[in-house]
Chain A
Amino acid sequence: MPFIPHTPADVQTMLAAIGAPNLEALFDEIPPALRIGELPALPEALNELQVSRLLETRAADAPRPLCFLGAGAYEHHIPAAVWEIVGRGEFYSAYTPYQPEASQGTLQVLYEYQSMMAGLTAMDVSNASLYDGASALAEAVLMAVRANRKSKSKRILIPRALHPLYRRTVHAIVHNQGIESVELPYDSTGGHTPIEALASYAGQDFAALVIPQPNFLGVLEDVDALTDWAHRNQALAVAVVNPTALAVLKPPGEWSETGADIVCGDGQPLGSPLGSGGPYFGFLCCRRELVRQMPGRLVGRTVDLDGKPGFTLTLQAREQHIRRSKATSNICTNQGLMVTAATLYLSLLGPRGLEQVAAACHANARALVDRLTRVPGVSRAFARPVFHEAVLKLPRPAGEVLDGLLARGVLGGFDLSGEYPELGHALLVCATETRDETDLRRYAAALAEMV
């Protein structure tokens, strides 16, 4: 059945009902500068055969490079079964499939996902996911400001070592609600957020401290000390974590004596392929006491009238279809398909499999850094431990080096000079479990030609 939202006759009827002579009149309050008008760059339409041939040609011109680029999205092996199952019609085509009488399968998948994420982060509750890691952090910040009743301020502490796009997304979403973020510097030798950077803020009123693990520079933060500091200063500890890393690192629920209060991040490493920025998904977990301030869908397990177990949405009084303008968020959905993939990915790997993936990532990243720093003029920027990414100092601009590497079939990493000019010629490199000895040798050889 074709999807036809409204016919020209429908449009005329609607326009007549509101007294607008035409569509132009309906949209005339949008300033002309914001309207796109003509699209002169659009080429002539092609038929399917022509499109296939064009794209085959382009694909042949651009062979897939060997990827050492991370910076927030990571290439991992995804078992073939994951997307084979996700593609089934029952999962693939359903939109907002939340009716318990019709959707027990989907609801159970979401419930299993929540259980696994709660287990991975050592938190009490996980929601059914949000759009991506950056917007999940924005929701976590809003949640912290609402939930922290000891704090009267709407200020939050955000490390400069947090992903720059996350910082920008949080700003874009929360600044019009009067929430102010204060940037914490990173340590120039360690690359971490030193506890000393917080000293001047002790005793001041902050709603939350954001703690990335690992941070954008790949470095592991001293999460226990940061969590302690937050709680001593009546701030909530908001963790931003890589879910793969949690298989080998202490989960946020066990940071310090008290544990983090809210945990979020991007779920892409769990079964979502790299795809020009998405679709990925965000995850959000919290302590039980904060659940009524949590946004998003939550699936609970219950029993029906006959006492049989089943699954249903729960705690919906937080959401906008019940609470209207006073809802915790305008988010009333989740990234169902990506979450289905993550659930399958985690269930196929199991805790031990995920641990092996994480350990292999770490070992490969160390081996990569060892090899690359043997190239004359290349050195590590920071001394502290990393997970699967590290910053290298180069003898010439990273952009030039990356261009040369790409010409040699190597996607060499992320040029930090735009976001962190103070680091000079700095390159963020990543190696996951998908790289092997040959790949690392190839990168080192290409780099040696470039510096």
Chain B
Amino acid sequence: MSSIIPAELRYTESHEWVRANDDGTITVGITDHAQHLLGDLVFVEIPEVGRAVAAAESCAVVESVKAASDVYSPLDGVIVEVNEALADNPELINEDPYGEGWIFRLKTVAALDGLLDARAYAAIAVAEDEDDDGSLANPKLVE
């Protein structure tokens, strides 16, 4: 499965993408690779505006027909905006993960240098496809 990994974005090992905005905030979503693994999304639990989050802290949940997974904040910061449209249209993440499917915007003073670039993230995504590790979203139901 080939997925889109835009070169201008930064990434995390837990499959979030990060876009640096002109106003100093960052926008966060999950990658095309991640939404492929999850399958059709049916629900997104978005964080509250004003919440302070630490890097690697769970702050949203994406739920598909076969799995549910946490979304982690890539950096320390404060949530300044959330994508309310996801409440009624979680499939926006499947259809346009890097655009209409964004999840939240974070005000942060942390540097983006520690995040993965597209090439490094692509290596992780490819490795996952090969060993079908599915660490983000194990697609198997366990009864």
A residues in contact (CB < 8 Å) with B: 98-99, 149, 292, 316-318, 321-323, 326
Contacts and interface: CB of A to CB of B under 8 A. Distances in A.
B45 A292 contact: yes
Given A99-B143, A317-B67, A321-B143, 13 more contacts: A98-B143, A149-B48, A292-B43, A292-B63, A317-B63, A317-B68, A318-B68, A321-B141, A322-B67, A322-B68, A322-B142, A323-B68, A326-B58
Nearest to B58: A326
Contacts of B141: 316, 321-322
Contacts of B142: 321-322
Contacts, number: 23
Interface of B: 43, 45, 48, 58, 63-64, 67-68, 70, 141-143
Interface centre among A98, A99, A317, A318 (most CB of B within 10 A): A317
- The prevalent SS among residues of A at the interface is helix
Contact of B70 (A316, A321, A326): A326
Contacts of A292: 43, 45, 63
Closest A-B pairs by Cβ, 6 of them: A317-B68, A317-B63, A321-B142, A323-B68, A322-B68, A149-B48
A85 to B, nearest CB: 27
B66 to A, nearest CB: 8
A323 B63 CA distance: 10
Nearest to A319: B68
B57 to A, nearest CB: 13
Contacts of B64: 317
Contacts of A98: 143
A323 B43 CA distance: 14
B139 to A, nearest CB: 11
Nearest to A293: B45
B135 to A, nearest CB: 13
A322 B64 CA distance: 11
A134 to B, nearest CB: 29
Contacts of A322: 67-68, 141-142
